[in-house]
Amino acid sequence: MNFHHIPVLFNETIEMLDLKPGQIIVDATLGGGGHAGGILERIAPDGILIGIDRDPNALAAARANLQEYGDALITVHGNFNDLGTILDKLNTPHVNGMVMDLGVSSHQLDEKSRGFSYQDDAPLDMRMDPTQSFSAMNVVNEYEERQLARIIFDYGEERWAARIAKFIVENRPIHTTGELTEIIKAAIPAKARRQGPHPSRRTFQAIRIEVNGELETLEEAIESAVNSLKSGGRLCIITFHSLEDRIVKNTFRRLQSPCTCPPDSPICICGQEASIKILTRKPIIPSKYEIDENPRSRSAKLRTCEKL
């Protein structure tokens, strides 16, 4: 395999999937194929990996990286929100395991022209699926100030959201990530800029989440993933910020303890039964070594469950 980066929490994810030769596994966020390569090593030649991604460029890169596995890799241009439909079309309604590596991929960050990074000057884009028309250009230049402030606060957890939104509206039209970065810097007081992460990080995260609808259907997608697992199958989800992680944690908890009866009820009468067992009481986080080798991994968390 030829990868220019090792994916985040690679060994931990492979271990938690508990792979066996001949299994059918889904990588619902294929990216450049990093996790997929490790999976295929363990399930090929009789196993199959179904790789789904919204980004045709990522699919092409993964096919090139993983060409040695031939027909053991099936790639699908699509969104993991449509998992059930995708698996039905492949006549594979149930699989042995699944991985979701959420957020923007290293492959997309490294493609400077895509406008995901605040460290490069590029057109305001941020589309994970370049075939969709709606982009960061629409969010930044067309949203009302109050709407912008809400997104930056809710999705970026940015305390200066209102001020950043005001500065954005006052400086429109904005065409590039470089222009947007300078406006964000001007909006945040100098003392606050000197503390914490890059001043643009939270706002860029918020706009990217809005452009790609990353949180809207995540809970539904997790339920669909669990429904698609065979008994004993495992689902591994890697998140990169607290909003994603909270949704994953709460959805896993609800699927493990779905009973809606009053706490003082002597017996369960709601009939809701657990569909999963959570295998990670606390999320698995990268080692210091991994963070030193790949600073992008610093906020990653891995949670895993097993289908009952």
- The C-alpha R_g of the chain, in whole angstroms, comes to 20
Which pTM value belongs to this model?
0.93
Dist. CA 267–CA 161, nearest whole Å: 48
pLDDT at 6: 76
Domain 112-212: give its CATH code. Answer: 1.10.150.170
**Whether residue 1 has pLDDT greater than 60:** no
* Structure confidence by residue, pLDDT tens digits, 64-107: 999 999 999 999 999 999 999 999 999 999 999 999 999 888 77
Cα–Cα nearest to 179, from 200, 163, 152 = 200
* Structure confidence by residue, pLDDT tens digits, 225-270: 999 999 999 999 999 999 999 999 999 999 999 998 988 888 888 8
Specify whether the CB–CB gap between 53 and 107 falls below 8 A. Answer: no
**Within 10 A of 92 (CB to CB), how many other CB atoms are there?**
15
SS3 sequence of the chain: CCCCCCCCCHHHHHHHHCCCCCCEEEECCCCCCHHHHHHHHHHCCCCEEEEEECCHHHHHHHHHHCHHHHHHEEEEECCHHHHHHHHHHCCCCCEEEEEEECCCCHHHHHCHHHCCCCCCCCECCCCCCCCCCCCHHHHHHHCCHHHHHHHHHHHHCCCCHHHHHHHHHHCCCCCEHHHHHHHHHHHCCHHHHCCCCCCCHHHHHHHHHHHHCCCCCHHHHHHHHHHCEEEEEEEEEEECCHHHHHHHHHHHHHHHCCCCCCCCCCCCCCCCCCCEEECCCCCECCCHHHHHHCHHHHHCEEEEEEEC
Dist. CA 145–CA 21, nearest whole Å: 54
Pick the CATH number of 10-103+217-307 from 1.20.1250.20, 3.20.20.140, 3.40.630.10, 3.40.50.150: 3.40.50.150
Dist. CA 179–CA 37, nearest whole Å: 38
Q: Give me the residue label for tokens 């709601």.
A: 270
* Residue 163 φ then ψ, to 5°: -70, -40
Q: HSE of 133 in the Cβ direction (CA atoms, 13 Å)?
A: 0
* Structure confidence by residue, pLDDT tens digits, 110-150: 788 899 999 999 999 999 999 999 999 999 999 999 999 99
What percent of the chain has pLDDT above 70? 98
Domain locations in the chain?
10-103+217-307, 112-212
* Structure confidence by residue, pLDDT tens digits, 200-223: 999 999 999 999 999 999 999 999
* Residue 302 φ then ψ, to 5°: -115, 125
Cα–Cα nearest to 75, from 66, 171, 84 = 66
Give the CA-trace dihedral at 59, 65, 67, 68, to 10 degrees: -150
* Alpha-carbon torsion (48, 78, 124, 245), positive or negative: negative
* Structure confidence by residue, pLDDT tens digits, 159-211: 999 999 999 999 999 999 999 999 999 999 998 888 888 999 999 999 999 99
**Whether residue 5 has pLDDT greater than 70:** no
